Amino acid sequence: MSSLNDRLLTYSLAINEALSQSMSEDRDVILIGQGVTSPWYVGNTCFNLLLKFGAERVIDTPISENACTGVAVGASMVGLKPIVVFPRMDFMLYAMDPIVNEAANWRYMTGGAVNVPIVFWAIINRGGEQAAQHSQALHTFFTHVPGLKVVAPSNPKDAKGLMISAIKDPDPVVFIDDRWLYDEKGNVPRDPYQIPIGRAKVLQAGNDITIVSFSYLVGVTLKAAKIMGEKGISPEIIDLRSLKPLDLELIYKSCRKTRRLMVCDIGWKDYGMAAEIITAVSESGVSLMSPPRRIALPNCPAPASRSLEQAYYPDSEMISDAAISCFK
């Protein structure tokens, strides 16, 4: 429900507001990465930040993900709170050493004496015939690593609240973004606020099947729910919001009610988030009336052809058909 404090904002402008408010509140927050001084390179998410905060706090780097990430990790260990932007998530792979070997491990290796308050802001690009090296959703890489938290909002309100929470968190957080969401509009409170990391949300209550989704697939899942409703099926839709830690208790509670489960993942099917959630539900002892289902990308790289892209990415009909098959 909206309030008098809410405005209708796009997803990209909600992130911009989260960055601006966080940097105004805390001078230790800095933004570093490729394109952060450009009005368009990262989809208006960094609009006017250079003008507001100057080149000492909004730092456009050369094209070296490993170098700028290593600098940012070091800065976080001596008191700054960097936000490192990766305009294409694919090229975070160049920065795996400072993210995984350094940032994720320092609190543990120092017995809690050293914190690494840093946000790794990863932007997924998909569609638009960008092909295999510019379309990859690599979130599962980071959920596998102890010491990293991972969030993935699906709407403008959550994008602002989760970004502020990630910036304030004393530990490294991977913020998974998706350009397909940048033009989505929603009611966003004007004042700063936080959404707790580790909390999922029931977007639509239902009794027949639990459908867990996150990021851009949440909107697709809600469209699928309308199709299912027309066929007399009442799905319960859960938006994960946080991939690590997972809000497993909310998922278990829903599955105990519906006795059916389907998980929608924005990445590849094999060894993905869907497999992790289904395994956790199985290990919890929740009894399901039909085998759980996974909706995810096929186990092959993203195609460059526009027609093949349409077949590659899940749509609302694919999700509704898969859910309906759980009742046969």
Q: Do 211 and 185 fall within a single domain?
A: no
Q: What angle do CA 155, 157, 162 make, to 5 degrees?
A: 90
Helix (H) or strand (E) holding 309: helix 306-312
Query: What percent of the chain stands above pLDDT 90?
Result: 88
Q: Is residue 138 scored above 80 in pLDDT?
A: yes
Which amino acid, 70? G
Check if 56 is active-site.
no
Q: What is the pTM of this model?
A: 0.95
Which of these is catalytic: 17, 56, 129, 134? Answer: 134
Q: Is residue 3 scored above 80 in pLDDT?
A: no
What angle do the packed helices 316-325 and 217-230 form, to 10 degrees? 50
Q: Do 130 and 212 fall within a single domain?
A: no
Domain count, the chain: 2
Q: Is residue 1 scored above 60 in pLDDT?
A: no
Q: Name the maximum alpha-carbon separation found in the chain.
A: 61
Q: Which CATH number goes with the domain that contains 240?
A: 3.40.50.920
Check if 144 is active-site.
no
Q: Do 252 and 141 fall within a single domain?
A: no
- The dihedrals phi and psi of 202, each to the nearest 5 degrees, come to -80, 115
DSSP SS3 for 53:
helix
- pLDDT for position 130: 83
Q: Do 179 and 216 fall within a single domain?
A: no
Which amino acid, 152? A
Q: Do 184 and 260 fall within a single domain?
A: no
Residue 129 zone, left/alpha/beta (φ > 0; ψ -120 to 50; rest): left
Which of these is catalytic: 17, 25, 65, 317? Answer: 65
CB 43 within 8 A of CB 16: no
Per-residue pLDDT tens digits for 62-121: 999 999 999 999 999 999 999 999 999 999 999 999 999 999 999 999 999 999 999 999
DSSP SS3 for 299:
coil
Q: Which of 141, 169, 189 is the last residue of a domain?
A: 189
- pLDDT for position 129: 80
Residues of the domain holding 321:
201-325
Q: Which of 189, 211, 238 is the last residue of a domain?
A: 189
Q: Do 169 and 266 fall within a single domain?
A: no
Q: Which two tokens stand for residue 131?
A: 């092909």
Mean pLDDT of the region 108-135:
91
Q: Do 179 and 227 fall within a single domain?
A: no
The answer as to whether 1 is a domain residue is: no
Q: Do 151 and 104 fall within a single domain?
A: yes
The answer as to whether 12 is a domain residue is: yes
Handedness of CA 173, 174, 178, 179 (dihedral sign): positive
Q: Which of 120, 155, 189 is the last residue of a domain?
A: 189
Q: For the chain, percent helix, then strand, then coil, each to nearest 5?
A: 40, 20, 40
